[in-house]
């Protein structure tokens, strides 16, 4: 049924445009390899079908958006495409976020990509589909770290969104755990005087006066005789329960 309708449409097209025009437009088939040539029925159906064209365009768009550096993202930083685009400068250098008014926003975006919607001016990582925050991509991670202290640059400086910033921190931690990035440990010089008891600051602690006099450390630790009125009141209240009385030792 589809082949019959396709042949009828092709006849109508040939009737309006002419046989020479149709075969002139299909002359590109001579230069194509035989493996890509379709059968006549399939060719007629594909020419006259809009669904097949939409499916092929969707597949082509998916192939265009998928990066060839996904498995090995570190190869992109050594390619001619990256050198021509960024040169020797970091990927975030010169980035400026679009904003309303003269005062720029104090915080970066939460994310640049929400489902199929992409913001107008994505961050330096989201705008390039060949950049991947992988722990093995050391050269890219080093661009977001201070070479002197090893601290990760704040997103307000690099301009990346908060979603990519979290992925960046996880990738840096994983790279350090695997030995691909080094830890910055501050140098501290230890002096032997700080750990010896020969300098004047370290002496024997004298005993307290209470220990010398053999008295209590605090005054309320000593025995204090309660008032006679309170003793008489307690004896009157608990006279049925008192069996023997004992004074202070």
Q: What are phi and psi of 118, to 5 degrees?
A: -115, 135
Each residue of 5-49: pLDDT tens digit?
Answer: 555 655 665 555 554 554 455 454 455 444 444 444 444 444 444
Each residue of 74-101: pLDDT tens digit?
Answer: 999 999 999 999 999 999 998 988 888 8
62 band by pLDDT with thresholds 50, 70 and 90: very low
Average pLDDT, the chain: 77
For residue 142, pLDDT beyond 80:
yes
Global pTM value: 0.51
Q: What HEC string does the chain produce?
A: CHHHHHHHHHHHHHHHHCHHHHHHHCHHHHCCCHHHCCCHHHHHHHHCCHHHHHHHHHHHHHHHHCCCCCCCHHHHHHCHHHHHHHCCCCCCCCCCCCCCCCCCCCCCCCCCEECCEECCCCCCCCCCCCCCCCCCCHHHHHCCECCCCCCECCHHHHCCCHHHHHHHHHHHHHHHHCCCCCCCCCCCCCCHHHHCCCCCCCCCCCCCHHHHHCCCCCHHHCCCCCCHHHHHHHHHHCCCCCCCCCCCC
């Amino acid at each position: 049924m589809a082949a019959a309708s396709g042949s009828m449409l092709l006849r109508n097209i040939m009737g309006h445009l002419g046989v020479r025009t149709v075969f002139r437009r299909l002359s590109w088939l001579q230069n194509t390899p035989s493996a890509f040539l379709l059968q006549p029925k399939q060719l007629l159906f594909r020419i006259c079908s809009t669904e097949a064209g939409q499916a092929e365009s969707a597949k082509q768009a998916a192939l265009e958006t998928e990066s060839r550096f996904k498995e090995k993202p570190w190869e992109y930083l050594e390619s001619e495409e990256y050198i021509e685009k960024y040169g020797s400068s970091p990927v975030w250098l010169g980035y400026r976020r679009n904003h309303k008014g003269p005062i720029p926003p104090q915080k970066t975006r939460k994310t640049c990509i929400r489902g199929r919607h992409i913001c107008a001016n994505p961050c330096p990582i989201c705008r390039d589909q060949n950049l991947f925050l992988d722990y093995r991509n050391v050269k890219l991670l080093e661009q977001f770290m201070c070479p002197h202290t090893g601290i990760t640059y704040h997103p307000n400086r690099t301009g990346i969104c908060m979603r990519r910033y979290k992925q960046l921190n996880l990738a840096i931690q994983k790279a350090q755990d695997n030995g691909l990035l080094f830890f910055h440990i501050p140098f501290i010089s230890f002096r032997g005087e700080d750990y010896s008891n020969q300098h004047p600051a370290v002496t024997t602690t004298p005993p307290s006066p209470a220990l010398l006099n053999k008295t209590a450390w605090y005054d309320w630790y000593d025995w204090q005789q309660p008032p006679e009125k309170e003793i008489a009141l307690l004896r009157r209240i608990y006279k049925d329960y008192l069996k023997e009385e004992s004074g202070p030792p």
